[in-house]
Amino acid sequence: MNIKIRFERPFCIALILSALLLGACGGPDRPKESSLQTETKPRVTVPDFMADSAYHHIKAQVEFGPRVPNTPAHAKCSEYLTGLLKGYAAEVIVQKGQVYAYNKNTLNFKNIIASWNPGNTDRILLCAHWDSRPYADFDPDPKKHNKPIDGANDGASGVGVLLEIARNLSLKNPSVGVDIILFDAEDYGPPQDHSLSGHSDAYWGLGSQYWAKNPHKTDYSAKYGILLDMVGARNATFLMEGISMQYASDIVRQVWNTANRLGYSSWFLFEQGGYITDDHIPLNTIRNIPTIDIIHLDQNSKTGFYPYWHTTGDNLEKIDKNTLKAVGQTLLTVIYEEV
């Protein structure tokens, strides 16, 4: 994802990367907990999210090496992900194509799409990106800026959570249709010292942009979507991201209220976050699916993101099973409480 951030709070926060901010500070009041938190929820049995399973899938992805498009590690990981989902889902489609990176390189990509209850028109879309960053361009060591990253949190964590959700969906069929899309070519945007770095939204989320214009099924739609990005780090904080609030504030509050009801208030904070360029934008603006982004935002870090974002430090050691549990159990509850 790109680093265009504007924090909406009662006071302005100056970031080191202020040149990349989307406008000035200020705006709407801090989000409040909605009445959804006190509504009576349907009595359903929600499966238990196994954080160990999600962690296993994160580890497996990292062990392939950086999942940069056009590399052997990328190809091997796609086979792993596709094989797993074929064992869990009623239907799996691999959308293949080519997109062009900021540097004119041709990227061969694969969006991996798994579906449950494919005939049900009442659908929920869950997604994450499975590729990893080719540059550690925010590493504190400038000598590592051209080194690809493991992407344990930025990429693999969201996929790991969705794979464990997929396992649960295969065991207990939900009442709604569910689609899981693993987007490719999300993180190949220009490095921070490139001339395009300050105005390069079109070069991020290439796989999701392609899918939004060319969905795997004609006229595909969903009630709403949930994007996971950087959802596995220790002490993660998920703020109410700005684009999500702009297009799908009711879904944000539904998810945050569910998380707080389950006891995960330390992770899901009722605070306004920045406006993030991520895979949910084409889903909102092109496919018109109200989609939210659950993403680790840290207003105390230099970038506004997870502290090891786009560095060689984004490795398996930073992954915490408690965070995986908080996100995964929340999403399972949201899915199975749909009626």
Class for the domain spanning 18-336: alpha beta
Alpha helical stretches, state H, 130-179: 158-171
pLDDT one-digit tens code per residue, 57-83: 999 999 999 999 999 999 999 999 999
What is the 3-class SS of 37-77, one letter each residue? HHCCCCCCCCCCCCHHHHHHHHHHHHHCCCCCCCCHHHHHH
DSSP string, 177-206: EEEEEEE-S-S-PPPTTSTTTTS-GGGS-H
Per-residue pLDDT, 181: 98
pLDDT one-digit tens code per residue, 190-212: 998 887 766 578 999 999 999 99
The count of other CB atoms within 10 Å of the CB of residue 2 is 21
Residue 99 has pLDDT above 90, yes or no: yes
Q: What is the percent of the chain with per-residue pLDDT over 90, rounded to a whole number?
A: 82
Averaged pLDDT, 268-291 = 96
DSSP string, 244-305: HHHHHHHHHHHHHHHHHHTT-TTTEEEEE-----STHHHHHHTS---EEEEEBB-TTSSSSB
Residue 98 pLDDT class (50, 70, 90 cuts): very high
Say which range, 16-25, 101-110, 247-256, has the weakest mean pLDDT: 16-25
The count of other CB atoms within 10 Å of the CB of residue 301 is 15
Residue 17 has pLDDT above 80, yes or no: no
Please tell me the pTM assigned to this model: 0.89
Residue 42 has pLDDT above 90, yes or no: no
Per-residue pLDDT, 195: 74
Say which range, 34-43, 133-142, 307-316, has the weakest mean pLDDT: 34-43
Q: What is the percent of the chain with per-residue pLDDT over 70, rounded to a whole number?
A: 87
SS3 126: strand
What average pLDDT does the structure give for the chain? 89
Residue 302 pLDDT class (50, 70, 90 cuts): confident
Averaged pLDDT, 28-54 = 70
pLDDT one-digit tens code per residue, 166-193: 999 999 999 999 999 999 999 999 998 8
Residue 295 has pLDDT above 50, yes or no: yes
Per-residue pLDDT, 339: 76
Residue 44 pLDDT class (50, 70, 90 cuts): confident
Residue 8 has pLDDT above 70, yes or no: no
Residue 229 has pLDDT above 50, yes or no: yes
Residue 1 pLDDT class (50, 70, 90 cuts): low
Identity (one letter) of the amino acid at 183? F
Residue 137 has pLDDT above 70, yes or no: yes
Cα dihedral sign, 66-70-71-76 = positive
Per-residue pLDDT, 198: 60
